[in-house]
Amino acid sequence: MTVIRVAVVDDHPVFRLGMVALLSTLDGIEVVAEASSAAEAAAAVTADVDVVLMDIELGDGSGVEATRALVARFPALRVLMVTMHEDDDAVVASVRAGARGYLVKGAGPDEVERALRAVAHGELILGAAVAERAMGFMAASRGLAPDVFPELTEREREVLDLVAAGLDTATISRRLVLSPKTVRNHTSNILTKLGVPDRSAAIVRAREAGLG
């Protein structure tokens, strides 16, 4: 039997220890790493890990950004996001970052095992409503060609697209699972790179280019 090597990343020690204990009882599954933060995950997760159970909200940052960084380093890595609530925006952002699906923290042992094994074998685990939104967002993201404002990073283009769509900082923060401060920083960088004086001018430029 091929062993599925798992890393558990969660900043709540009771949940993390409980998940590790559960996984340790399952045949063919071995917990090889634990982390309580994005920084610890970056150090603990190696190419030997098959699946990461990733808390969507970590004390030192976003599980979404941690996922993006890990998948960039290890393209074969499978990430299963763990969330308290079935928040569409957060789950969609996770999928866009490279996660293979999500698991609600209230899931029972059988659901945990099924989701983990499915993700390990390359399946995408999403509810129907979330899957529909994820596909829509991913299609929209593919439409943001690099030649549209090439001076911007991919993340900055995503933020600009949402700004052009009329979303405020708080909504963009939820949509991309970023802190409001990070969104404001991205917005400031966008204004500087585009050479425009304010958000309104950036919206005009973005809409002229087909964003929003």
**Domain definitions of the chain by residue range:** 4-129, 143-208
pLDDT digits (tens, 9 = 90+) for 126-138: 755 555 555 555 5
- In angstroms, rounded to a whole number, what is the distance separating the alpha carbons of residues 91 and 168? 20
Residues in contact with 77: Cβ distance below 8 Å, sequence separation at least 6, in sequence order: 45, 49, 50, 51, 52, 70, 71
pLDDT more than 90, % of the chain? 38
Q: Is the pTM of this model over 0.75?
A: no
pLDDT-wise least confident of 20-34, 98-112, 122-136, 164-178 = 122-136
| Class of domain 143-208 as given by CATH | mainly alpha
CA 58 to chain centre: 12
- Cβ burial of 173 (10 Å; 0-12, 13-18, 19+) is buried
CATH 3.40.190.10 fits 4-129, yes or no: no
